[in-house]
Structure 1
Amino acid sequence: MIGTRTDRLPDCRPLLADSDDLTLVFQPIVDLSAATVVGYEALARFPGTAGPDVWFAAAAEAGIAAELEALAIHKALDAVDRLPDNTFLTVNVSPHLLGADVVQRALAVRPDLHRVVVELTEHTAVDDLSCLRSQTDALRERGALIALDDTGSGYSGLQQMAAVRPQLVKLDRSLVADAEDDPVRMALAEMMGEFAGRIDAWLLAEGIETPAELAAFTRLGVPLAQGWLLGRPSPEFLPLADDVAQLVRTQVARARLTDSVASLMRPVRQCVLGEDDVPDVPPAVLVGPHGEPASLLLSDPRTLEVYTAPVSLRVHPSTDIGEALQRALTRPPAQRFDPVVCTDPSGQVLGLLRIEDLASAARAR
């Protein structure tokens, strides 16, 4: 049970006898290339046998949907300080309720949202996408990342992805289940992954339940995965079981991860944007207060003049070499030959990729 102060919790008494009737469990999110847990999704649980969807539907019918979601947000944010190192927590919020006062107050309980991923579920259509974009931008300014849930079904279409520009895109279970035997589903998943890459988002395959599904999405190069095969929801933040980690490593090896950009990644110096100790010799990455890449320190090869450039492309270490090169060369001309920043799922800088290295590796394949 989460230790939450009851004097600041939303009132859900028409539905719950007590605020402690809502508890949380945490399901791991796995970085497939590293075979390790990088985050957890906070999931609500209630008394009895009815699933959470039933309870949230009942709350909507009773007119207290926002209050119930706010209660879950309160409890999830209280758990952030207990996260294992180098992990994040995803917190579910309905997009049409994000602007509700009680939900905004719940999110304001923790001013610094670093290590928090606000996951937009899509059970109801959003009429005003520009308003939703403004609301998510405000959360980003406080350090949060934005995820889009159930992508590929229902209301989470390409238009909503383009408007919100999430950093994490969760592929709907309907496209994951038995996909290894369905080339159409695999093609749709690949399309979603390409679109996610174009907006510098990570793709997460949700609902991985069998080794065959894991193998299929590992071969596809999907960087993140979640599901019962990898770890069931638990009241504690559990690491990846040893046998599951070995299974993931085996599948990654079979997918020939040597064709990824991980082998080409070069170390790079980092400094916090605005501090005085900016290195004089490029290349370097200037990072924001939460370690996110903000700009690049580069030099003109003709004049040797040092200048800063925007971060125009970020990729995961598991990205295919050919895909990374194609994305790099389709950037605007001014940034086309700038180094590519390699980051982990939480946005932390791992290194740089030089265009000449990508081109050489692509020719050698």
Structure 2
Amino acid sequence: MTPAGTAAEWPRRVASVLAEPSRLRLLFQPIVDLQRGVVAGYETLARFSEPDGRPSRVPPDQWFAAAGAQGVGARLEGLVVRRCLDLLRTVPPNCFLTVNVSPHLLTDPELAGALLAVPDLAPLVLELTEHQDVTDLDPLIDLRDRLRSRGALLAVDDAGSGYSGLQQIAAIKPQLVKLDRAIVNGVDGDEVKLALTELLGEFAGRIDAWLLAEGIEAWSEVEALLRLGVPLGQGWLFGRPGPAWPRLDPGTAAPLRFRSARARLVEHVASLVEEVPVEGGPAGGVVPGGQTGLRVDPGGRPQALLLPRRRGDDDPGHRIAPVSLRVPVFAGVREVARRAAARPEHSRFDPIVCVDDVGVAVGVVRVERLLLRLAAGG
């Protein structure tokens, strides 16, 4: 819906931005790795200028709503996406960049064409933001697979705000799930919000996604999220939106790392990682028969597990299994064990793939080693 009382002004406003893209500014808010106290990524935020050049005081979501009402929503979102694509090579190392897109517009040629024209989309994360029912998810899922093959990831925001949203998450299977800020606000003092956060963490683990808590404004919220194993956070506590690329203030990073160390009950899973042979990747390697290995894409990102044949098989080759769980090297042992146990029965004891900050495979963690570490007291 367009804002009440200003509907007649919107065609001129939107047209001025489409005709003169300099009226669109991009700001970036840091997304923080709560475990390590470093910036892990950035969210892109659009800001507009009025036709007379003044910065607009109208919220950006109303601009996009007005463009949608005029039938040019894909053009305006495409303008933002193209600007982000131009910036991809400048994103700091080991960081990702999220940009908001409406799921019902993502398959529009304006947006899909711009994205598919880029061979390597890493480290782009497309954040599906609009809670509008998509009646036919098949085209979106097909496009998702094509975008993933180019290195892009998907995120879904406002998790926990409704059952239909959870259904959409289950169908799309994003790599990043954003926890609704209404749940994050005051989570430390609300047992219901704590339970919801834990439940959504379990849900994210089931679909092999990372949970990101947005709207963090208090250290007490950080401490509660750390205790629940939430890996990523965003909010004014860590930094307001700014020009590319805001850093985490040392005065914020130090207390975050202190709180993370205090909350960490066990060491990182990195100590359990086992290097395995790799098929594909920059070196184009192969995995010997009878050994556990990984199949990776040209960028080194895991595509499948190569597992030894089961006892009694005559074929010395491999059993190919999908990657049912991937975790960052700095994930806690208990968090990883919880996510591993939440997997379906047929894949519950498959090796866990460990990746670095940009999703490149570094090795696997065998469930047996995970259990032995827990049995030894973490």
The answer to whether the Cα contact below 8 Å between 2:278 and 2:285 also exists between their aligned partners in 1 is: no
Which range moved further: 214-223 or 63-72? 63-72
| Runs (5+) with no aligned partner, structure 2 | 1-12, 49-54
1:6 corresponds in structure 2 to: none
Deviations 1:28-87 (A, max 9, x none): 112222222221111101122222122222323333222211111111111111111222
User: Is 1:24 paired with 2:26?
Assistant: yes
Percent identity reads 49
**In the aligned structure 2, how far is the partner of 1:20 from the partner of 1:278?**
49
**In the aligned structure 2, how far is the partner of 1:257 from the partner of 1:80?**
36
**In the aligned structure 2, how far is the partner of 1:296 from the partner of 1:33?**
27
Q: What is the aligned-residue RMSD (CA, Å)?
A: 2.8
2:305 corresponds in structure 1 to: 296
1:307 corresponds in structure 2 to: 318
Number of aligned residues: 355
| Aligned positions of 1:1-365 closer than 5 A | 12-13=14-15, 18-46=20-48, 47-154=55-162, 157-258=165-266, 260-272=268-280, 277-280=285-288, 282-299=291-308, 307-310=318-321, 311-317=323-329, 319-325=331-337, 327-328=339-340, 331=343, 335-365=347-377
Normalising by structure 1, we get a TM-score of 0.87
Query: Structure 1 residues 19, 137: closer, same or farther in 2, change over 3 A?
Result: same
Which range moved further: 64-73 or 50-59? 50-59
**In the aligned structure 2, how far is the partner of 1:307 from the partner of 1:68?**
48
CA deviation after TM superposition for structure 1 residue 162, in Å: 1.0
> In the alignment, residue 346 of structure 1 is paired with which amino acid?
V
CA deviation after TM superposition for structure 1 residue 266, in Å: 3.4
**In the aligned structure 1, how far is the partner of 2:294 from the partner of 2:73?**
43
Query: Structure 1 residues 258, 132: closer, same or farther in 2, change over 3 A?
Result: same
Query: Structure 1 residues 62, 332: closer, same or farther in 2, change over 3 A?
Result: closer
**In the aligned structure 1, how far is the partner of 2:352 from the partner of 2:346?**
14
The answer to whether the Cα contact below 8 Å between 2:78 and 2:111 also exists between their aligned partners in 1 is: yes
The answer to whether the Cα contact below 8 Å between 2:206 and 2:343 also exists between their aligned partners in 1 is: no
> In the alignment, residue 48 of structure 1 is paired with which amino acid?
S
Which range moved further: 163-172 or 295-304? 295-304
**In the aligned structure 2, how far is the partner of 1:301 from the partner of 1:17?**
62
Query: Structure 1 residues 320, 67: closer, same or farther in 2, change over 3 A?
Result: same
2:52 corresponds in structure 1 to: none
CA deviation after TM superposition for structure 1 residue 360, in Å: 1.3
Which range moved further: 294-303 or 174-183? 294-303
Normalising by structure 2, we get a TM-score of 0.84
- The SS at the match of 1:162 is helix
**In the aligned structure 1, how far is the partner of 2:24 from the partner of 2:78?**
11
Query: Structure 1 residues 256, 97: closer, same or farther in 2, change over 3 A?
Result: same
Query: Structure 1 residues 330, 237: closer, same or farther in 2, change over 3 A?
Result: closer
